[in-house]
Structure 1
Amino acid sequence: MTTQLTLDHEPLLEVSGLKKHFPVKNEIGQKSAVVKAVDDVSFKLYEGKTLGLVGESGCGKSTTGRTILRLTEPTSGSALFKGKDIFQLKGDELRKARQDLQMVFQDPFSSLNPRKRIGEILEEPLVIHKLGTKAERTEKVMEILYKVGLNVDHYYRYPHEFSGGQRQRIVLARALILNPKIIVCDEPVSALDVSTQAQIVNLLRDLQEDLKLTYLFIAHDISVVRHISDQIGVMYLGNIVEYTDTDNIFAEPLHPYTQALLSAVPHPNPTMKRERIILKGEIPSPLNPPSGCVFHPRCPMATDICKQAVPVNKEARPGHFVRCHLY
């Protein structure tokens, strides 16, 4: 039996019509085209819950996360957080909002300053936001190191002295130091081995329960997302093509792309045979996306209308949204 996405309270973050287009210039510096990295993405993120964004590399998952945090400016759309549009905030208002909105990056090594000790790296957000005395900041860092499973003596070490899993714990500690409400996790386990992936996912779940955190969890591995997400949004070429709770996605996937993704997930029982759906061709370029439904050149169920008309986002079942002409 599957559960339904029936959350009657207000979302903590509501993203509507988000677009991020990057201009492409020709040899003389004139704008000649645009890359539609994110094209009309909408979703709701509820307090204490996790929304997983999954899809192939280049579908716009990371750009969505970075744009919500204003690490790159949106082309259009809105992101309402506590009743205020993040995209309209400036100066001190934006700085204050960033205490509540933090990010864990995919590569933990390149996101840590190799010339600074871990203690300095973790104290930096507190210094920037003018929080606490030197002694209070040090105490806070020691406390957060313990929370993420590191030792207090790690305070004095440099990033190169840690393993990949330990570095990701450090990056997570830096995100937690300001007591945020929302953490955007941009493929936080993709660079780690399988056993370390499980440790980090379990740590994220424990921290969420203890600190009432809300996650936007970005990954290309839908089986990893399953273990941490309450809701899943499947992205393809800048669009969320299917969006519902995790149980529904795995029990009754509606979009042909979601069905293909799930068919590639190995079954834990080797005697169980699953029909493998092989998608033809490569993911199209966001510089020149196909007409109509962007998935139609690779879709085994495409019809003539798929080539002509862009599908709208429909609630095919209660709490189960899909962009597909089949529904």
Structure 2
Amino acid sequence: MLTKLTEQIDPMLVVKGLKKYFPVKGALGQSTGEVKAVNNVSFQLYEGETFGLVGESGCGKSTLGRTILRLTEPTNGEAIYQNKNIFHLSGMELRNIRQEMQMVFQDPYSSLNPRKRIGSMLEEPLTIHQIGLRQERTERVMEILHKVGLQPDHYYRYPHEFSGGQRQRIGLARALVVNPKLVICDEPVSALDVSIQSQIINLFQQLQDELKLTYLFVAHDLSVVRHISDRIGVMYLGQMVEQAPTDSLFSSPLHPYTQALLSAVPIPNPNVKKERIILKGEIPSPLNPPRGCIFHTRCPFVMDICRKEIPLEKEMSRNHFVSCHLH
């Protein structure tokens, strides 16, 4: 599947040099600095694939997804969706492109309006995008409820009447009701029990095949990302340090940070010994990231050049990119 995807001439989404900085203000309102949540990130997403995005909490994964959709405005860079720069659109053009790009949020509890019935909540996107008449919208909602494994009578209930797994199914239904092409999934299973996680992940895969969806899948659970992703990007302190096909990343990780992440994944065999790479030191503040390579303060292989120069991204093998002076 991956070979076919990457042989396509035009990717569905091209992100170039994306930056999102949040200003920090002092007690008197003066600017005291910037939090570099996303700092010069570039990648491509092909139609029909799942691109997994992993990294420690606070590395900028969720901010990246929200910025692509313009839920937060970018500081700099480009996000080109089917030859249109999302950051240059406004008004009706932006509304139309958002119909094709939807998001499933992390928290199934806070992402649903507790005062609205499920049916009303799911019909709202159809009303905003002026899709169908009233009866047709109700029929569409009933259809999508069935696709995500819910019952017709759930249409009339409120969010508090559902479990966490059911609420995440509702969140997925809300994203899919307008028939999008690209879905950004912001840690959609991290708030769920492990037994429920597998059900939701299988549902994501089933709907991807059925509806021809493309996913940008943000998560910190490497086993989940390995199961669902065709390619994976690894983020650290707002930057992408490695991108590779899933099998290549897990069999031959090149960046020291990726190697440390993968060493923490448990093996379900007590007889197999695995060397754990323990990173020393604390994650630097995105207010004041290190000069040169951002990982050099914790890297076990640090060299002088790492402290002075930012490593350029290099393609070490087919579709396997890394930003590291070791390579």
8 A Cα contact 1:3 1:247, kept in partner: no
1:50-69 equivalent positions in 2, closer than 5 A:
50-69=50-69
Q: Does 1:171 align with 2:171?
A: yes
Contact residue 5 and residue 319 of structure 1 kept, 8 A: no
Partner of 1:301: 301
Query: What does residue 152 of structure 2 align with?
Result: 152
The answer to whether the 8 A contact 1:4-1:318 is kept is no
Is the CA contact 2:5–2:47 (under 8 Å) kept in the aligned structure 1? no
Could you list the runs of 4 or more consecutive aligned residues of structure 1 that deviate by over 2 angstroms after TM superposition? 2-9
Code of the aligned partner of 2:291: S
Summarize the Cα distance change of 1:83–1:4 in structure 2 as closer, same or farther, 3 Å threshold. closer
2:38 — aligned with what?
Answer: 38
Letter in 1 for 2:249: I
Partner of 1:116 in structure 2?
116
Query: TM-score normalised to the size of structure 1?
Result: 0.98
3-state SS in 1 of match to 2:253? coil
Q: TM-score, normalised by structure 2?
A: 0.98
Task: Give the secondary structure class of the aligned counterpart of 1:227.
Answer: helix
Matches within 5 A, 1:223-238: 223-238=223-238
Decide whether aligned partners of structure 1 residues 184 and 82 sit closer, same or farther in structure 2, where only a CA change above 3 A counts: same
Q: Is the 8 A contact 2:102 2:183 kept in 1?
A: yes
| One-letter identity of the residue aligned with 1:57 | S
SS in 2 for 1:253: coil
Any idea what SS the aligned residue of 1:276 has? Answer: coil
Alpha-carbon spacing, 1:259–1:300, altered in 2? closer, same or farther (3 Å): same
- Residue 286 of structure 2 aligns to which amino acid in structure 1? P
Aligned position for 2:219: 219
For the residue of structure 1 that corresponds to 2:228, the secondary structure is: coil
Flag structure 2 segments of 5+ consecutive residues without an equivalent.
none
CA contact (8 A) 2:148 2:172 kept: yes
- The alignment partner of 1:114 has SS state of coil
Matches of 1:75 and 1:98, distance apart in 2 = 20
Amino acid at match of 2:310: V
Look up the match of 2:48.
Answer: 48
Q: Percent identity?
A: 70
Return the alpha-carbon distance in structure 2 between the equivalents of residues 196 and 90 of structure 1.
Answer: 39
SS of 1:98's equivalent? helix
Name 1:285's counterpart in structure 2.
Answer: 285
The residue type equivalent to 1:143 in the other structure is E
Q: Distance in 2 between matches of 1:5 and 1:315?
A: 17
Identify the residue that residue 93 of structure 2 maps to in structure 1: 93
The 5 A counterparts of 1:238-253 are 238-253=238-253
1:319 maps to which residue?
319
Deviations 1:184-222 (A, max 9, x none): 000000001111111111000000000000000000111
Say if 1:59 and 1:237, in contact at 8 Å, map to a contact too.
yes
Counterpart AA for 1:80:
I
By how many angstroms is 1:8 displaced?
Answer: 3.2
Report if the CA contact (8 A) 1:141-1:177 is conserved.
yes
Alpha-carbon distance between aligned partners in 1 of 2:5 and 2:107, rounded to the nearest angstrom: 32
Distance 1:97 1:260 in 2: 38
Q: Cα RMSD (Å) of the superposition?
A: 1.3
The offset of 1:4, in angstroms, is: 10
- Bigger Cα displacement from structure 2, 282-291 vs 178-187: 282-291
Number of aligned positions between the proteins: 326
